[in-house]
Structure 1
Amino acid sequence: MLSFSMFPQQGKQKRADTLFNKFSFVKAAKLYRELVQDNYNRNYATRKLADSYAFLRDPRNASRYYKSVVKQKDVPIEYYYKYAQSLRGMKKYDESQIWLKRYKDSGGIVNANDFSKDINFITSVFGAKQQYFLDRVRFNSKYSDFGAFEHDGKVYFASARDEGVAIKRLYGWNEQPFLDVYVTEAGSKRNVDYTAKVKGDINSIYHDGPVTITKDGKTMYFSRNNFKDDIELKDKNGLTNMKIYRATLVDSLWTNVEDLSINGDEFSTQHAALNVDDTKLYFSSDRPGTRGGSDIWTVDIAPDGSLVNLQNAGDIINTESAEGFPFINNEGVLFFSSDGHTGLGLLDIFATIKGDDEESIVDVINLGVPVNSNKDDFAFSMNANGITGYFASNRQGGRGSDDIYAFHREPVLHVEGVVTDAINTNPIAGAKITLFDDNGNQVAYMETDENGYYQINIDRNKDYKIVANQDKYIEDYREFTSKNIQTELITITGNLLLNPVQDVVKLAELNVYKENDSTLIKNTQLKPIYFDFEKYNILEEYAIELDKIVKLMTVDYPEMAIRIEAHTDSRGTFEFNDILSTNRAKSTYDYLISKGVNPSSIIEYKGYGERKLINDCEDGQKCTEEQHQLNRRTQFIVVKME
């Protein structure tokens, strides 16, 4: 009886694993939760349940179950990392750091590039702020609607509605009418029926759409079933593939439909998209050379319209599963749909991440909710403003099988600025920048680069205080707000001016930084200027130190004025030491002038003899030579900085 009672649980675990592997995390979580309650393979089910919640962007429930997981015997150390990330998602930063340290101490490497895609995704999910917000679309139908693309105040989209037509031709696959291309005014609230079909030769008796249009509005690329003389052309498997066609606008009609050279009868070519300057066509295809079900491909558009240099978009974008629906925004970022990259559901929408050269693609990132769901999400487009756009989804709550969703984007806001020397206006490298919220809590910390520049991401609708300091400068701050600013704004300027400290020794320090970095390699401090006993000539080893002062007064602060003070030890007569210290002050003055310092920048040079000893080595006291030498010094006093 016991063995028979286990069979339903085994089946439930298998179903849960299948759902999990298909990224159907809501349903998988329900089954794993039941397995945990039934105490069946509890450790395994708890791990998978926690992982499901992680992928569902639910750090509260994820951390609840990861807390149990990390107590398991011989648990893989990656769960220490996952638990740390879920705690971070709940802003329990101190506790998160404890588990992150546990992970590192157990041999884990905290470097995102060394982790699997799954862990990368969990990290990005919990670390990302929501940027996309859904808006209402009024022209969806009870049929399939997708591929919305806005151009010159009009929205073009593909739809199977065909409402108002007496005789409807149905597509056998889903018993819906064939797709046609429609157009409506952006922001229109009226219903869109068959009268809104694009005028001209675009729509046929088979599938047509979606479309893309060149910036000048004269050329359209669109998907269509492969047919000739109203007869579908089938491949060797009996399937009718898709092709991309090109049309031109003539007297408000789309005509001169042209079959492109990239098409073929034995494979599909569809989902056309254009790059920023209309010189490259992106599309999806299962043509020979495709890695998975379908890949993203590119081809160059020559000035005469011919298509050359056909290329696969590469393994960073394409997987062994299906990729499609490419779109390129005005910043040259490629968006596409895929069920091969780790996501929230079936097809998810991803964006590419560019390398330092702004040309190569180094990674892809999931756009997260609400753009993506546990269903199919695809056909992403962004308007020229970079803020609004559209995508399609068959998620629950829609009107038809596929619906168009509009979005507006609140891009990440950051404060950036340059920290500058208030006297010479030079940028200050290595200045410490600390950001505080309106409650005085530290939000972020960084250092300026070699150009004095910094940039920190911030939240909208909050008040902040930013503080800058550096050893050579007097601390300064400014307060600013991110409240009531335009959605389009992504940068708040926070430049800061720092006044140098009036300390020649500190200012003459030479900081050496890494090339193209703000990392300090070494700090060369100004050493005291000492003299030999009863001598006032400048020793070679101290001439190097005086050269630092020369640079300070001729290059860094040419308007700075100083006073030179020279001192002796207590040995010798009082009168002799006065003369000796005056000679030392004079020799220091002469050296600086000989190296180019403006005489007017040295207000005074004066000897103080033995009047200002810095230790107890007075007459009659027994001191070492090193102790006496500390008193044989020259000092530089800042009189003014400008």
Structure 2
Amino acid sequence: MVPIKKIGSVIFMFFLGMVFCVAQTKKSKGDLFFFQYEYQKAVSAYEVQLANGTLTPQQFLNLADSYFQTNNFEKASEAYLELYKKDTLMDGHHYNKMLQSFSKTTDKERKTAFLATMSTDFPKELMENMDFNNQLLQNASANSGSDYELFNLDGNSPQTDFAPAFYKDKLLFSSGRQQNKKLKYDPGNEGYFNLYESTLQTNGQIAVIQPFGQVANTGFHKSTPFYSNKLNSVFYVLSNTQNGEMTFDDNGKNALSIGMQRIGGAFQLLLKDLSTSFYYPFFDDASGKLYFAADFEDGYGGTDIYFVYTTNGQIMSAPINLGPRINSPGNEIAPYIFEDSFYFASDVFYGLGGMDIYKANIEKDGFGIPINLGNGINTEYDDFGFVIRNEGEGLLGYFASNRPGGKGKDDLYGFKVNEKPGLKTITFKGRVIKPYGRGESIDKAVVRLIDNTGGILRETYSDENGNYRLEIPWTDSVVLESTADRYSTFKKQFSEEELEELQNSDGYNVELALYDDLVEEKEGQMVVKMDKFYFANSSTQLTPEIDVQLDKVVTFMNAFPDAQLRIETYTDSRGGSSTNFKLTQERSDTIKKYLVSKGVPATSILYTIGYGEDKILNNCTNGVFCIETLHKQNQRSLIVILNDNVLFD
């Protein structure tokens, strides 16, 4: 992965640190401009090299990135596509940039064609996320579903203002407004980022803005604060320094670390790596997890979101990637949790613009599909750094955006809304299992959700452990259906009340019966599998022991209602022939009566036959002495499946 990503409009230059070219290797003018974030100048220099035939493949990739950063998406898409055809240097993050470039040009068909070619190389979660969001945005015309009262903050500056955070009854944020003209960050042509605090007014506006005095003053970057009420501490990002001076890795890069400042107490450096930058800390008071974004080599694209376990802020684990349900080939930043919802920003290619804000439901074993918040919050520009809390009878939130009409490069926006942002969804998840034995899992079972008209809303297949997961926009009623080859079909309609309960449960297991587990071959025909049972001598009365066996037939018919049955009953050679015929016929009729009383349709039982002593299985015929055990071998009832050979055609 390359170290340059587009995160926000100006913010990306800060987020990914400052790279200073060192004299270890000779670099071209284009390289010098590129690594100093002077992308327009890099384009001009690289194009000269291209014309002279001296551009290396890596520099050509830098040129493609420079086109992308300067919004020349036509040339960016062409350059990325040429690199892709040569199968050199391109990784998932550059694929994301290429797809974004296609989306921002008139040649959107290339995006579709590329996705069709590469879909199997992307994580299945990414494709599910894309399909789900495309469906949502198309069906809702990119409407968020919420009625926002949105406003630009009066305290925005002509520079960069971003990363709002609640701090007691105040609002913290980051800004590039210059307090000291001598301390200037050249790539952004503004001051080094610093933390500011402001009072919150009843209308959501901010006032009385001043530098945040609870953290140590330095001459370099401090940004993206988050205040933990539980720890009474502020987490934030800062430049790596030593003895008041910036520190660099062997490649001349100054990365960003995460520190924690206890209000009125000590400062502690939590995450530091001279070659890796950390961004946007968020501390979850409930779990003690510290979330952040970083660009580790094992990520899924650009910056991914990770977390570490902590004890009162003390880090107790290695960083854990949130996985492909959240992270994509793009950049993910700015994690935030509010009422079991996980908010973050991403520039994944299927969004509305650059950075969009997404919401994923927090589940016991991970996250739901991240849902684009849609128009109102998101635009075709960069929208990121979302925070929200309960305020009075509604909700108050803030985020940053570089949308037109602002006062600076990135502005802070506030909003008021009556309900949680984001469309409400329904999640079905669990395992597909057999209902008997130890609940053996079933893989490759189709599981689908169906609407009231019979249309398929969503479909998936269970994995090797039987796990399935489906998520759809909220509806008041839905049918869950599942089946697999030679398995029964599960079908259940859920009411609105049941759907509400389901969202608060640990999951919903689907039970499918395997036909071959419930049948066996006897006497040259396929029958329902039962343990052998006996009527009392000369009796047609069922016993509890017989009922248990016949209930297996009921279970079979519930699983395979299209089966057609014949009930056959036999006896031994003792007694008169006509008496035995009558006795076995009455026993078959009694079995049918019981099955029908348990819900088996009478039309599914085509015949009931009593064979008497016509089909003796051993030598115990009339006049032959046999012990009781041998006689009992001839006393039997069979439930024959007449259409076994065509049942699964």
Q: TM-score, normalising length from structure 2?
A: 0.49
Q: TM-score, normalising length from structure 1?
A: 0.49
Higher RCO (C-alpha under 8 Å, 6+ residues apart): 2
